[in-house]
Structure 1
Protein backbone atom coordinates (compact mmCIF):
# COMPACT_ATOMS: atom_id res chain seq x y z
CA UNK A 1 0.00 0.00 0.00
CA UNK A 2 1.35 3.42 -0.97
CA UNK A 3 1.44 6.61 1.01
CA UNK A 4 -1.44 9.06 0.86
CA UNK A 5 0.25 11.93 2.68
CA UNK A 6 3.72 13.48 2.59
CA UNK A 7 5.12 16.61 4.21
CA UNK A 8 8.28 18.55 4.81
CA UNK A 9 9.08 21.65 6.81
CA UNK A 10 12.01 23.85 5.92
CA UNK A 11 12.68 27.10 7.75
CA UNK A 12 9.25 28.69 8.30
CA UNK A 13 7.53 26.87 5.44
CA UNK A 14 5.64 23.62 5.93
CA UNK A 15 4.36 21.89 2.79
CA UNK A 16 1.86 19.02 2.94
CA UNK A 17 0.71 16.96 -0.04
CA UNK A 18 -2.27 14.58 -0.16
CA UNK A 19 -3.04 12.29 -3.06
CA UNK A 20 -6.68 11.49 -3.89
CA UNK A 21 -7.12 9.23 -0.82
CA UNK A 22 -7.62 10.06 2.84
CA UNK A 23 -4.53 9.56 4.99
CA UNK A 24 -4.43 6.41 7.07
CA UNK A 25 -4.69 6.81 10.84
CA UNK A 26 -1.01 5.90 11.13
CA UNK A 27 0.01 8.55 8.58
CA UNK A 28 -2.16 11.13 10.29
CA UNK A 29 -0.78 10.37 13.76
CA UNK A 30 2.79 10.64 12.49
CA UNK A 31 1.89 13.92 10.80
CA UNK A 32 0.31 15.23 14.04
CA UNK A 33 3.59 14.52 15.82
CA UNK A 34 5.34 16.58 13.13
CA UNK A 35 2.84 19.41 13.72
CA UNK A 36 3.57 19.29 17.46
CA UNK A 37 7.30 19.60 16.69
CA UNK A 38 6.69 22.78 14.66
CA UNK A 39 4.90 24.82 17.33
CA UNK A 40 7.98 26.93 18.08
CA UNK A 41 8.73 27.92 14.48
CA UNK A 42 8.32 31.70 14.28
CA UNK A 43 6.01 32.91 11.49
CA UNK A 44 5.19 29.38 10.37
CA UNK A 45 3.39 29.19 7.02
CA UNK A 46 1.53 26.06 5.90
CA UNK A 47 0.83 25.15 2.28
CA UNK A 48 -1.31 22.11 1.52
CA UNK A 49 -1.73 20.61 -1.96
CA UNK A 50 -4.35 17.91 -2.34
CA UNK A 51 -5.56 15.89 -5.29
CA UNK A 52 -8.78 15.32 -3.32
CA UNK A 53 -7.66 13.40 -0.25
CA UNK A 54 -8.24 14.96 3.14
CA UNK A 55 -8.44 13.88 6.75
CA UNK A 56 -11.69 12.30 7.88
CA UNK A 57 -13.80 13.78 10.70
CA UNK A 58 -11.91 12.02 13.50
CA UNK A 59 -8.58 13.08 12.04
CA UNK A 60 -9.73 16.70 11.66
CA UNK A 61 -10.89 16.65 15.29
CA UNK A 62 -7.47 15.36 16.41
CA UNK A 63 -5.81 18.18 14.43
CA UNK A 64 -8.13 20.69 16.05
CA UNK A 65 -7.07 19.49 19.52
CA UNK A 66 -3.36 19.67 18.61
CA UNK A 67 -3.81 23.12 17.08
CA UNK A 68 -5.64 24.49 20.11
CA UNK A 69 -2.99 23.14 22.48
CA UNK A 70 0.08 24.22 20.52
CA UNK A 71 -0.95 27.17 18.41
CA UNK A 72 -2.76 29.91 20.34
CA UNK A 73 -2.39 31.99 17.15
CA UNK A 74 -2.79 29.54 14.26
CA UNK A 75 -0.43 30.02 11.33
CA UNK A 76 -1.85 30.95 7.94
CA UNK A 77 -2.89 27.84 6.00
CA UNK A 78 -3.38 27.83 2.23
CA UNK A 79 -5.03 24.76 0.70
CA UNK A 80 -4.64 24.25 -3.04
CA UNK A 81 -7.01 21.80 -4.72
CA UNK A 82 -9.31 21.19 -7.67
CA UNK A 83 -11.66 19.20 -5.41
CA UNK A 84 -15.00 20.87 -4.79
CA UNK A 85 -15.56 18.56 -1.81
CA UNK A 86 -12.27 19.59 -0.17
CA UNK A 87 -13.04 23.26 -0.84
CA UNK A 88 -16.42 22.86 0.87
CA UNK A 89 -14.84 21.16 3.89
CA UNK A 90 -12.18 23.89 4.11
CA UNK A 91 -14.84 26.62 3.83
CA UNK A 92 -16.58 25.07 6.83
CA UNK A 93 -13.25 24.75 8.69
CA UNK A 94 -12.51 28.42 8.05
CA UNK A 95 -15.51 29.32 10.20
CA UNK A 96 -13.57 27.93 13.17
CA UNK A 97 -10.13 28.94 11.93
CA UNK A 98 -10.18 32.19 9.96
CA UNK A 99 -6.53 31.66 8.98
CA UNK A 100 -7.52 29.02 6.40
CA UNK A 101 -7.86 29.96 2.73
CA UNK A 102 -8.57 27.67 -0.21
CA UNK A 103 -7.32 28.10 -3.78
CA UNK A 104 -7.53 26.25 -7.07
CA UNK A 105 -4.22 25.17 -8.67
CA UNK A 106 -4.37 28.07 -11.15
CA UNK A 107 -4.44 30.44 -8.14
CA UNK A 108 -1.19 29.17 -6.60
CA UNK A 109 0.34 32.67 -6.79
CA UNK A 110 -2.58 33.95 -4.66
CA UNK A 111 -1.87 31.21 -2.12
CA UNK A 112 1.77 32.27 -2.02
CA UNK A 113 0.72 35.91 -1.54
CA UNK A 114 -1.70 34.99 1.25
CA UNK A 115 1.12 33.16 3.04
CA UNK A 116 3.43 36.13 2.53
CA UNK A 117 6.13 34.01 0.92
CA UNK A 118 9.27 35.64 -0.39
CA UNK A 119 10.36 34.83 -3.96
CA UNK A 120 12.88 32.32 -2.56
CA UNK A 121 10.16 30.70 -0.43
CA UNK A 122 7.87 30.48 -3.46
CA UNK A 123 10.59 28.61 -5.31
CA UNK A 124 11.12 26.37 -2.29
CA UNK A 125 7.37 25.70 -2.02
CA UNK A 126 7.20 24.70 -5.69
CA UNK A 127 10.24 22.46 -5.31
CA UNK A 128 8.88 20.77 -2.17
CA UNK A 129 5.46 20.20 -3.74
CA UNK A 130 7.08 18.53 -6.77
CA UNK A 131 9.25 16.33 -4.54
CA UNK A 132 6.39 15.34 -2.25
CA UNK A 133 3.99 14.63 -5.12
CA UNK A 134 6.70 12.50 -6.71
CA UNK A 135 7.17 10.66 -3.41
CA UNK A 136 3.47 9.81 -3.27
CA UNK A 137 3.43 8.66 -6.90
CA UNK A 138 6.51 6.49 -6.44
CA UNK A 139 5.10 4.75 -3.38
CA UNK A 140 1.82 3.99 -5.15
CA UNK A 141 3.70 2.57 -8.16
CA UNK A 142 5.91 0.43 -5.91
CA UNK A 143 2.90 -1.03 -4.09
Structure 2
Protein backbone atom coordinates (compact mmCIF):
# COMPACT_ATOMS: atom_id res chain seq x y z
CA UNK A 1 0.00 0.00 0.00
CA UNK A 2 1.29 3.49 -0.85
CA UNK A 3 2.01 5.62 2.28
CA UNK A 4 -0.31 8.45 1.14
CA UNK A 5 -3.41 6.30 0.56
CA UNK A 6 -5.99 5.77 3.25
CA UNK A 7 -7.16 2.25 4.06
CA UNK A 8 -10.72 1.25 3.22
CA UNK A 9 -13.09 1.16 6.21
CA UNK A 10 -13.76 -2.32 7.52
CA UNK A 11 -17.23 -3.76 6.88
CA UNK A 12 -19.32 -4.36 10.01
CA UNK A 13 -19.21 -7.92 11.28
CA UNK A 14 -22.98 -8.45 11.11
CA UNK A 15 -25.00 -5.97 9.03
CA UNK A 16 -28.48 -5.28 10.41
CA UNK A 17 -31.55 -5.45 8.26
CA UNK A 18 -33.84 -2.46 8.13
CA UNK A 19 -36.29 -4.02 10.57
CA UNK A 20 -33.53 -4.99 13.01
CA UNK A 21 -32.06 -1.48 12.84
CA UNK A 22 -35.48 0.05 13.58
CA UNK A 23 -36.03 -2.28 16.53
CA UNK A 24 -32.57 -1.43 17.91
CA UNK A 25 -33.23 2.31 17.48
CA UNK A 26 -36.58 2.04 19.35
CA UNK A 27 -34.86 0.08 22.14
CA UNK A 28 -32.19 2.77 22.50
CA UNK A 29 -34.78 5.56 22.50
CA UNK A 30 -36.88 3.75 25.11
CA UNK A 31 -33.92 3.28 27.45
CA UNK A 32 -32.57 6.82 27.03
CA UNK A 33 -33.07 9.33 29.84
CA UNK A 34 -33.29 13.09 29.57
CA UNK A 35 -33.71 15.26 32.63
CA UNK A 36 -36.53 17.67 31.80
CA UNK A 37 -36.53 19.57 35.11
CA UNK A 38 -36.00 23.31 34.56
CA UNK A 39 -32.70 24.83 35.54
CA UNK A 40 -32.81 26.90 38.73
CA UNK A 41 -33.12 30.64 38.28
CA UNK A 42 -30.59 33.01 39.77
CA UNK A 43 -31.80 33.98 43.20
CA UNK A 44 -31.12 36.92 45.48
CA UNK A 45 -28.44 35.12 47.50
CA UNK A 46 -25.36 37.35 47.86
CA UNK A 47 -22.08 36.07 46.37
CA UNK A 48 -19.77 34.15 48.68
CA UNK A 49 -16.13 35.13 48.98
CA UNK A 50 -13.96 32.35 47.58
CA UNK A 51 -10.61 31.39 49.11
CA UNK A 52 -7.40 32.40 47.40
CA UNK A 53 -6.57 35.41 45.27
CA UNK A 54 -9.46 37.50 44.00
CA UNK A 55 -10.23 37.19 40.28
CA UNK A 56 -8.10 39.54 38.19
CA UNK A 57 -7.05 39.98 34.61
CA UNK A 58 -3.89 38.21 33.45
CA UNK A 59 -2.00 41.50 33.37
CA UNK A 60 -3.03 42.36 36.93
CA UNK A 61 -2.06 38.88 38.10
CA UNK A 62 1.36 39.16 36.46
CA UNK A 63 1.91 42.60 37.97
CA UNK A 64 0.94 41.46 41.47
CA UNK A 65 3.28 38.47 41.29
CA UNK A 66 6.08 40.76 40.12
CA UNK A 67 5.40 43.17 42.99
CA UNK A 68 5.34 40.35 45.55
CA UNK A 69 8.63 38.97 44.22
CA UNK A 70 10.22 42.43 44.20
CA UNK A 71 9.03 43.10 47.76
CA UNK A 72 10.40 39.78 49.02
CA UNK A 73 13.72 40.40 47.28
CA UNK A 74 13.97 43.90 48.72
CA UNK A 75 13.18 42.63 52.23
CA UNK A 76 15.85 39.92 52.01
CA UNK A 77 18.50 42.30 50.65
CA UNK A 78 17.66 45.02 53.15
CA UNK A 79 17.59 42.58 56.06
CA UNK A 80 20.96 41.14 55.10
CA UNK A 81 22.48 44.60 54.77
CA UNK A 82 21.04 45.67 58.15
CA UNK A 83 22.41 42.57 59.88
CA UNK A 84 25.82 43.06 58.27
CA UNK A 85 26.01 46.72 59.33
CA UNK A 86 24.89 45.90 62.87
CA UNK A 87 27.38 43.06 63.30
CA UNK A 88 30.36 44.88 61.83
CA UNK A 89 29.62 48.14 63.70
CA UNK A 90 31.61 50.13 61.15
CA UNK A 91 30.21 49.10 57.74
CA UNK A 92 29.64 51.98 55.37
CA UNK A 93 25.93 52.20 54.47
CA UNK A 94 26.74 53.46 50.95
CA UNK A 95 29.01 50.49 50.21
CA UNK A 96 26.45 48.07 51.63
CA UNK A 97 23.78 49.68 49.47
CA UNK A 98 25.90 49.27 46.37
CA UNK A 99 26.92 45.68 47.15
CA UNK A 100 23.44 44.49 48.07
CA UNK A 101 21.50 46.68 45.65
CA UNK A 102 23.42 45.70 42.52
CA UNK A 103 21.97 42.15 42.29
CA UNK A 104 18.46 43.50 42.86
CA UNK A 105 18.89 46.07 40.08
CA UNK A 106 20.24 43.35 37.79
CA UNK A 107 17.28 41.06 38.52
CA UNK A 108 14.79 43.88 37.90
CA UNK A 109 16.51 44.80 34.63
CA UNK A 110 16.43 41.17 33.46
CA UNK A 111 12.76 40.90 34.44
CA UNK A 112 11.93 43.94 32.36
CA UNK A 113 13.92 42.57 29.43
CA UNK A 114 12.17 39.19 29.53
CA UNK A 115 8.80 40.93 29.80
CA UNK A 116 9.40 42.66 26.48
CA UNK A 117 10.61 39.49 24.74
CA UNK A 118 8.00 38.00 22.44
CA UNK A 119 7.85 34.50 20.98
CA UNK A 120 8.63 33.99 17.32
CA UNK A 121 5.53 34.17 15.12
CA UNK A 122 4.12 31.07 13.45
CA UNK A 123 4.94 30.91 9.78
CA UNK A 124 2.29 29.44 7.49
CA UNK A 125 3.37 28.92 3.90
CA UNK A 126 0.83 28.09 1.21
CA UNK A 127 2.01 26.83 -2.17
CA UNK A 128 0.31 26.19 -5.48
CA UNK A 129 1.88 23.81 -7.97
CA UNK A 130 4.86 21.52 -7.50
CA UNK A 131 7.24 22.51 -4.72
CA UNK A 132 10.79 21.31 -4.04
CA UNK A 133 12.06 21.90 -0.52
CA UNK A 134 15.73 21.40 0.30
CA UNK A 135 16.50 21.31 4.00
CA UNK A 136 20.08 20.77 5.07
CA UNK A 137 21.70 20.64 8.49
CA UNK A 138 25.28 21.84 8.85
CA UNK A 139 27.40 20.52 11.72
CA UNK A 140 30.28 22.80 12.65
CA UNK A 141 33.27 21.96 14.81
CA UNK A 142 36.06 24.36 15.75
CA UNK A 143 39.20 22.98 17.40
CA UNK A 144 42.78 23.90 18.10
CA UNK A 145 44.75 26.90 19.25
CA UNK A 146 44.56 28.24 15.72
CA UNK A 147 40.86 27.84 15.06
CA UNK A 148 40.06 25.59 12.14
CA UNK A 149 36.38 25.28 11.32
CA UNK A 150 35.08 22.22 9.50
CA UNK A 151 31.54 22.36 8.12
CA UNK A 152 29.96 18.99 7.44
CA UNK A 153 26.63 18.92 5.57
Q: Which has the higher contact order (CA 8 A, sep 6+)?
A: 1
Q: Which has a greater percent of strand? A: 1
TM-score by length of 2: 0.21
Q: Which has a greater percent of helix? A: 1
